[in-house]
Structure 1
Amino acid sequence: MLYNAVSTLGLSKRLQTANTELQLERLRNNDEIASGKHFDVAKALGARTGQAIALRNLYDETDQTLKSTALLQGRLGTMDSALTNILSAGQDVLAAASVGLGQPSPTGSSLQVRARAMLEQVVGMLNASSGNGYLFGGVEVKTAPMRAVQGDESGLPSPIQIVQDAIAAATGGTSSPQTPAETAAAVAALDDLFATPSASPLGFEGGFYQGAPSTAPRLSARLDRTTEIPYGIQGNDPAMRDLLQGLYMLASVDTSQLPLDAYKPYMEAAVAKVSGGIEGVRDATAQLGIHRAQLDDIAAMNTTQLRILNDQLDAMESVDPAEASLRMNQLEVQIEATAAATARIARMSLTNYL
């Protein structure tokens, strides 16, 4: 005689397994309610998973571009501030030097002091840094591009001493030119000193400037797949060298002590260098302003794109709160029913069948 019977032990284990699965499903559903996202996005999207992955990759790329843009905006802002201060210092000295351009003035010694102060300010601005790198040394961002006017611990003569030595060598040993011929020789020597490359063993690159040489690649930033911004203004650019040469000429010599025929060509050469340098720095500042405006446009575009991508991803990955709540209620009813059935089976004994 055959009997169809179900083992209470087997049924109990099946109910326990089902209860465990329902509890896990409730935990996943609870996570979805808390986060607002599908627990298993790939399962929820199915065939659209590839599209979601592509959108997520584009979102990450745009977000990284936006962060890089913000860093570059900070660097360019600091560069712009430094160039503005350099222009102000150069214009201050130019105004003071132009007053006594025709003949020696008793204020020549004060002009020397002012030129020295402005020179140190310009050198300080060219050693500006942002984050962990110097701004005006080109690709050599770890080294201060400009040597201090009064020198450093390198063992080399100070930059102002290099200039004074060049003037003395050109004039036959005197600290300042005394004739038109000596002035012409001194100016020519300084022109060579501040040239790149220079015939002097202690030329501008090495004796004054220690950043990337003029032959090195310039700094630029690629903000996206199609846009690249060059922003590599360097302390050895022609405008900077002209401005520094003029300032060093005025800071190295007390022009009030020069004879008239030596004074005039010396001052004209110094003022021409300062003036030319200021014009070049002004052009560089204007170009930097164009790059900053371009950078702002790119940042605004990427911000908009990031917002659009975020909306698209939310639409694909987000869980409907009403649907998730309904599913949670259903799971709780199932869990309660399973628990009740398990409890009833646990209370059964042999007497239930007699």
Structure 2
Amino acid sequence: MLYNALSTLGMSRKLQSTMTRQQMDLVRANEEVATGVHADVAATIGASTGRDIALRNLFDRTDEYVKTADLLDGRMKMMDSAMTSIIESGTDLLAAASTGLGQQSPTGTSLQVRARGVLDQVVGLLNASAGNAYLFAGTALDQPPMRNVDGDKSGLRSPMQIVRDAIQSATGGAEMPTTAAETAAVIARLDDLFAVRDPATPAPTPLTDTFEGGLYTGTTSVQPGGGASPRVSGRPADSSTIAYGVQANDPMMRELLEGIYMLAAVDTSKMDVDAYPDYIRTAVDKLSAGLGNLREATAQLGVQRAQIATLTEQHKTQKSILSLQIDNLEGVDLYEASTRISQLEAQIDATANATARIAKLRLTNYL
């Protein structure tokens, strides 16, 4: 008589292996319900894995462009705010100075005090920073572009002293011009001081008798040889690079600052009647021209911000489309996954019951 061999140990191990596999499937199913993504995307979508990777890469690059655009807009917004404040302060000073164009005003001392307050404010605004980057320093983002009016710890003469020394050098030692000829000489000397030069040319003596170096310490306007220095730029899209903003050594800023320094360095109420008209008119003209050009730069900055905003919206729309495409490949049908969990739980319960029954079997049950 033949008997079939029945091994409870073998059956138990088979059921344990089945339960282990079912439990792993249950863990993966629960993970998919929690994340909404296949536990093993590559195994699930097969040949579409390459397309999924390409979509992911494009999504990440687009997301970086969104972050870059947000950073650029933040910097531009702060720059716009600073420039607007400079325009407001400069316009108030221009109005006060313009009242003395017709005839010499006895309130020249108060004008000097007012100009000095505006000068400190403008220099402070030009040293504005976003994070660790100074907005008006050009590509030299790590240091404030303007020296304080009264100087710093460098040991160099203060910007105000440099301007006053330039005036005295043109007048032969006097604090202010006394004749029309001296006024013309002072204006020529200040124009030279507030100009920029090729770094490759011989430096003046002393070195700080220049705008770049004595008053401004950011990126120079030109490189050695005379070529224009690179401007700060951002790349908010693959085919879009935007050179934006204003440097504190741009012509309009130098013109604006020259006009303010002229009013802050001299008490015009004490000037000789022959020297006064050309001096005050030149200061007002420079202040007015600088403000006019700064308004145009502010408007241009607004146009660039609008371009950034348009690109940002395009990137966000592209991100939404890419996200849907990626989800279609990687996403899990939550209803199907929930049904699968219920089935696995039922199978695990059945396997556990079968294992328990086998564990209770004894040979004596069949003798």
- Could you list the per-position Cα deviations for residues 12-51 of structure 1 after superposition, in whole angstroms to 9, with x for gaps in the alignment? 1111111111111111111112222211111221111111
1:332 equivalent to 2:345? Answer yes
Secondary structure (helix, strand or coil) at the match of 2:274 reads helix
Counterpart amino acid of 1:181? A
Aligned position for 2:215: 208
Aligned position for 2:139: 139
1:287 equivalent to 2:300? Answer yes
Whether contact under 8 Å (2:194, 2:211) holds in the other structure is yes
Aligned position for 2:84: 84
Whether contact under 8 Å (1:38, 1:318) holds in the other structure is yes
1:248 equivalent to 2:255? Answer no
Aligned position for 1:113: 113
1:319 equivalent to 2:332? Answer yes
- Cα offset, 1:103, TM superposition: 2.5
Secondary structure (helix, strand or coil) at the match of 1:66 reads helix
1:51 equivalent to 2:51? Answer yes
Counterpart amino acid of 2:345? E
Aligned position for 2:274: 261
Secondary structure (helix, strand or coil) at the match of 1:222 reads strand
Aligned position for 1:274: 287
The 5 A counterparts of 1:61-210 are 61-197=61-197, 199=204, 201-202=207-208, 203-210=210-217
Counterpart amino acid of 1:291? Q
Secondary structure (helix, strand or coil) at the match of 2:275 reads helix
Match of 1:219 among 232, 253, 259: 232
Q: Which moves more between the two structures, 19-28 or 47-56?
A: 47-56
Aligned position for 2:226: none
2-structure distance, mates of 1:199, 1:152: 21
- Cα offset, 1:225, TM superposition: 0.7
2-structure distance, mates of 1:6, 1:243: 102
Whether contact under 8 Å (2:168, 2:176) holds in the other structure is yes
- Could you list the per-position Cα deviations for residues 69-115 of structure 1 after superposition, in whole angstroms to 9, with x for gaps in the alignment? 11111110000000001111111111111111132110111111111
Whether contact under 8 Å (1:192, 1:199) holds in the other structure is no
Whether contact under 8 Å (1:104, 1:257) holds in the other structure is no
Alignment size in residue pairs: 354
Secondary structure (helix, strand or coil) at the match of 1:261 reads coil
1:234 equivalent to 2:247? Answer yes
Whether contact under 8 Å (1:178, 1:259) holds in the other structure is yes
Whether contact under 8 Å (2:29, 2:337) holds in the other structure is yes
Counterpart amino acid of 2:152? D
- Could you list the per-position Cα deviations for residues 46-68 of structure 1 after superposition, in whole angstroms to 9, with x for gaps in the alignment? 11111111111111111121122
1-structure distance, mates of 2:37, 2:13: 33
What TM-score comes out, normalization by structure 2 length?
0.93
Whether contact under 8 Å (2:68, 2:235) holds in the other structure is no
Cα RMSD, aligned residues only? 1.5
Q: Which moves more between the two structures, 189-198 or 168-177?
A: 189-198
What TM-score comes out, normalization by structure 1 length?
0.96
Counterpart amino acid of 1:328? I
1-structure distance, mates of 2:39, 2:32: 6
Q: Which moves more between the two structures, 174-183 or 330-339?
A: 330-339
1-structure distance, mates of 2:109, 2:54: 69
2-structure distance, mates of 1:37, 1:264: 78
What is the aligned-residue identity percentage? 57
1:341 equivalent to 2:367? Answer no
Match of 1:302 among 315, 325, 330: 315
Aligned position for 2:225: none
Counterpart amino acid of 1:335? I
2-structure distance, mates of 1:325, 1:130: 49
Whether contact under 8 Å (1:193, 1:199) holds in the other structure is no
2-structure distance, mates of 1:242, 1:332: 80
1-structure distance, mates of 2:105, 2:359: 113
- Cα offset, 1:191, TM superposition: 0.7
1-structure distance, mates of 2:65, 2:147: 35
- Could you list the per-position Cα deviations for residues 312-340 of structure 1 after superposition, in whole angstroms to 9, with x for gaps in the alignment? 22222221122112211221222122112
- Cα offset, 1:243, TM superposition: 0.4
Q: Which moves more between the two structures, 133-142 or 43-52?
A: 43-52
Whether contact under 8 Å (1:103, 1:260) holds in the other structure is no
- Cα offset, 1:280, TM superposition: 1.6
- Cα offset, 1:2, TM superposition: 5.9
